[in-house]
């Protein structure tokens, strides 16, 4: 039976597929760590209180990158080169979503709108990350080799999403509500297209490594297109709603004291 669990198990059982999966994940997390670090350094004076939370966000992303690399090391694998068509972060930037690397590389403070763009971009992408990690948590939460790593990352992604909700609501109350909703909508509609394209590219590479039959590859591609159709018709709205999270100040408290997986 073709299911998410069976697909992830195939990837886990293949050194080359697992190597590609972890390399793609590690690269994206490291890129997110760099971006958050630069934003924390450039946050405008009026929003200076956000700086430590943004820095914490970046530190978590860097930690996740190290975790994925540690999973590779456990199996004696070296990171693979990430195909550009599977680089989710790069493709989002090319669509003008989030803050451009060229902007973050300059030593010029950000403005309030830049911070709104950052938080809106994060709210959308952290929704995706939280959902993906919860899926992996259901499948591998009790796995002897992967369970601890999955639980740690999933908890962090939920905290990142809670932080984005809370800070965007704070900015909306300060009079930025219309701008926030406009930017959130733009981000969400671009993200679902990029996610579809990246998913198709990853599946093509996995299909080659795992020697999938044409019918199986076609069925998986059809599923990705169907998921995109659902998101385009209205599923994207879950990425733009804002509500006070159950866990408040998720990135303003010290990290849970736990030895890092890596």
Query: For the chain, which domains are there?
Result: 4-239 (1.20.1260.10)
Q: pLDDT of 123-139, one tens digit each? A: 999 999 999 999 999 99
Q: What is the pLDDT of residue 4?
A: 86
Q: 20-66, pLDDT tens digit by residue?
A: 999 999 999 999 999 999 999 999 999 999 999 999 999 999 999 99
- Yes or no: say if 155 and 243 are a contact pair by the CB < 8 Å rule: no
Residue 259 has pLDDT above 80, yes or no: no
CA distance 64 to 130: 13
- Cβ-based neighbour number of residue 150 at 10 Å: 23
Query: Which range among 142-151, 156-165, 189-198 shows the weakest confidence by mean pLDDT?
Result: 142-151
Dihedral over Cα of 165, 163, 93, 134: its sign: negative
State the chain's mean pLDDT as an integer: 94
């Amino acid at each position: 039976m073709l299911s998410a669990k069976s697909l992830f198990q195939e990837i886990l059982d293949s050194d080359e597929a697992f190597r590609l999966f972890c390399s793609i994940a590690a690269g994206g997390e490291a890129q997110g760590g760099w971006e958050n670090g630069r934003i924390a350094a450039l946050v405008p004076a009026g929003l200076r209180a956000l700086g430590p939370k943004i820095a914490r966000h970046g530190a978590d992303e860097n930690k996740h990158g190290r975790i994925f690399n540690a999973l590779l090391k456990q199996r004696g694998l070296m990171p693979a080169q990430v195909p550009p068509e599977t680089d989710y972060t790069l493709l989002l930037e090319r669509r003008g979503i989030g803050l451009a690397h060229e902007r973050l590389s300059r030593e010029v403070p950000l403005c309030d709108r830049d911070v709104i763009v950052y938080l809106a971009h994060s709210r959308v992408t952290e929704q995706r990350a939280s959902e993906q990690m919860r899926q992996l948590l259901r499948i591998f939460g009790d796995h002897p080799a992967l369970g601890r790593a999955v639980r740690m990352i999933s908890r962090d992604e939920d905290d990142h999403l809670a932080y984005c909700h809370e800070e965007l609501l704070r900015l909306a109350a300060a009079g930025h509500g219309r701008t926030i909703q406009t930017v959130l909508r733009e981000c969400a509609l671009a993200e679902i297209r990029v996610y579809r394209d990246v998913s198709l590219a990853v599946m093509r590479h996995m299909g080659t490594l795992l020697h999938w039959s044409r019918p199986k590859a076609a069925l998986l591609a059809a599923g990705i297109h169907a998921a995109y159709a659902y998101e385009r018709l209205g599923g994207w709205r879950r990425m733009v709603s804002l509500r006070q999270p159950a866990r408040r100040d998720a990135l303003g408290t010290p990290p849970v004291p736990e030895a890092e997986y890596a």
